[in-house]
Amino acid sequence: MPLIQVKVFKDELSTEQSSEIISKITDVVTQATSEKLRDATWVVIEEIKDGQWGVGGKAL
């Protein structure tokens, strides 16, 4: 079962955008592998609060 995790800043995506991302990622996975995996493909969108990301030692 494929599990794809997408991490975004909190409140960056609407519910509709999240649904579209989930749908399109699932489509790409099944196109690259097998349609049989569609029902077993998990996509998780995780929102991260400001200050809980970091790049180059600096919180974003």
In this prediction, residue 12 carries a pLDDT of: 95
4-29 in b/e form (b: 16+ CB < 10 A) is: eeeeeeeeebeeeebeebbeebbeeb
Tens of pLDDT, residue by residue, the chain (60 residues): 899 999 999 999 999 999 999 999 999 999 999 999 999 999 999 999 988 989 999 988
CATH 3.40.190.10 fits 3-50, yes or no: no
Determine the pLDDT at residue 32. Answer: 97
